[in-house]
Amino acid sequence: MATFQTKPDMRLGGIKAYAVTSVVTNGKRSRQWLYLGTFPTTRDAKSEFNRVSESLNREKVSAIHQERHESKTTPTLADAVPLYFEAVEGIKLNSSKGLKPYRIALSHTCRFLGDLKLNELTPFKIEGFIAARRKEITYKHTPVGIKTIMNEVAQLSSLCGWAVKNQILKSHPFKTPQRSLKDYFPKVEKKPKNYLNLEEQAAILKASEDSPYAQTITKVLLYLGVRQGELAGLRCGDVDLARRAITVRAEKTNDYRVLPITGELVPILERLKTHRPTFRNWYLREPKHNTYLLCDEEGRPLGEPGKHLFKNLAAKAGITRKITPHVFRHTFVSNMRAAGLSPYEIMSLTGHKNVSTLEGYGVNAPKDLLQKMERAYPTVTTLARKVDEKVDRRFILLKTPLKQGYKLAGAVGFEPTNARSKIW
């Protein structure tokens, strides 16, 4: 199976030992040199060859050659990242920012693991990356958050999944059914999501009335619960006021959903069909403005419609904590839960894929619990009345069986006796 060969080690001195085998690739036989190590004498090298050759068989030699071939052809992480983004360049993976967050996340992993080949990204290497990343300090002079590191590992896992799908990797190097991504991180309790209570919602709607643009953004975010990137991608043709429905394209999940339009949104959307809102006034739409629902003077979509908008609105409404466009999505889920919608109904409106995601969202104070509980058991009162009537009737029969000529029929009920039969 294998022959013994040696070469002098010109750099370290001694003898390099090899086990030379042959392998057939694409119908052609070629020799393969398996390096055994560097030894001081030929005798020591021969002893190591004899030890190794005993365990070498055809399957093991093929596995070694396959592993070496994959190691040669598998790119490093730094080389694979450009190929990955080139393959997904036509897909917007996250809102209006496109691939930017993913490039940032993978740039951090490349700083630590860029020289490793994709098949060398073992769980041990990933744990080392997480430990080293947690020791770093951000530009805000705070430690890097667990959620940030989890996102970076998730993006690295997505890249490895792409490599497996395109047969660059044979299998995922660090994610298996026995070890998921969350197993690399300590369990952290989910913090309640930041949301607006009913008084704050009324206050911020009141504060936005002076500006057509602010009022439009606030109402659409609050009554539809869409992401900021989904709001930026809304088109004029997506609004169907006759059916009271609007089509939302979810760039994050690469799908779309149809949402009902509530009564509070109808006047705003009717005017958006013919006018374009600015901070001070409404302007008639020109032909170049008829593509996107929210656009600039040139008809281009607004990248981040709610950015820097709610800081002043929150101060005007008397809200001290930070308000972002995504807070309105949290508020939408909170309002729907308080209204009694099931998690699956809410998921159809928000586009979530997992029920557990909704657990972190705040819930406004429930209302009308007594009426809802009574509606949950509509037949209880009727059944109880029927049972009471049946028990009362049997009790009356039990009190006067002899006077009315009845006899006890087992433990079930009473039967009328024959006129000539003896009474007990």
> Is the pLDDT higher at 392 or at 99?
99
Q: What is the tens place of the pLDDT at every residue in 24-73?
A: 666 777 777 777 778 888 888 888 878 777 666 655 666 665 566 556 67
In a shared domain, residues 67 and 88: no
CATH number at residue 171: 1.10.150.130
Instruction: Please say whether the beta carbons of 296 and 179 come within 8 A.
Output: no
Residues 278 and 216 in one domain: yes
Any domain includes 163: yes
259 and 287 within one domain = yes
- Give residue-wise pLDDT tens across range 263-318: 889 999 999 999 999 999 999 999 999 999 999 999 998 888 888 889 889 999 99
Mark whether 57 and 118 lie in a shared domain.
no
Q: Flag whether pLDDT at 379 surpasses 80.
A: no
239-240 and 245-250: which strand pairing?
A: antiparallel
Asked whether residue 249 is domain-assigned, the answer is yes
**Which of 57, 73, 89 corresponds to the end of one domain?**
73
Written as one letter, the residue type at 172 is: H
61 & 137 share domain: no
Verify that 61 and 104 share a domain, yes or no. Answer: no
Q: Which two tokens stand for residue 98?
A: 């496109």
Same domain, 217 and 327: yes
**Whole-number pLDDT of residue 54:** 65
Q: Same domain, yes or no, for 332 and 226?
A: yes
What is the domain count for the chain?
4
Q: Which residues of 206-232 are buried (b: 16+ CB within 10 A; e: fewer)?
A: ebbeebbbbbbbbbbbbbbbbbbbbbb
- What pLDDT shows up at residue 92? 47
Q: Quote the domain boundaries for residue 53.
A: 3-73
164 and 216 share one domain:
no
Contact call for residues 40 and 17 (beta carbons, < 8 A): no
* pLDDT greater than 50 at residue 412: no
In a domain, 260, yes or no: yes
- How far is the C-alpha of 410 from the C-alpha of 68, rounded, in Å? 87
CATH code where residue 337 lies? 1.10.443.10
How much is the pTM? 0.57
Is residue 423 domain-resident?
A: no
What share of the chain in percent tops pLDDT 90?
Answer: 29
C-beta of residue 84 within 8 angstroms of C-beta of residue 101:
no
Domain-embedded: residue 375:
no
User: Is 368 a member of any domain?
Assistant: no
Which is nearest to 69 in space by CA: 7, 23, 20? Answer: 23
Asked if pLDDT for residue 408 goes beyond 50, the answer is no
**How many Å apart are CA 359 and CA 362, to the nearest integer?**
8
Q: When comparing pLDDT for 411 and 267, which is higher? A: 267
Same domain for 208 and 249, yes or no, is yes
Residue ending a domain, among 37, 57, 73, is 73
Burial class (CB in 10 A: 0-12, 13-18, 19+), 96: buried
Q: b/e map of 302-324 (b: 16 or more CB within 10 Å)?
A: beebbeebbeebbebbebeeebb
373 in a domain, yes or no?
no
Last residue of a domain, one of 159, 184, 209: 184
Q: Is residue 369 in a domain?
A: no
Least confident of 7-16, 226-235, 258-267: 7-16
- 309 plus 341 within the same structural domain: yes
Q: Which residue has the higher pLDDT, 249 or 374?
A: 249
Angle between helices 100-113 and 77-87 (to 10 degrees): 160
Structure-block tokens of residue 186:
């300590």
On whether both 293 and 268 belong to a single domain, the answer is yes
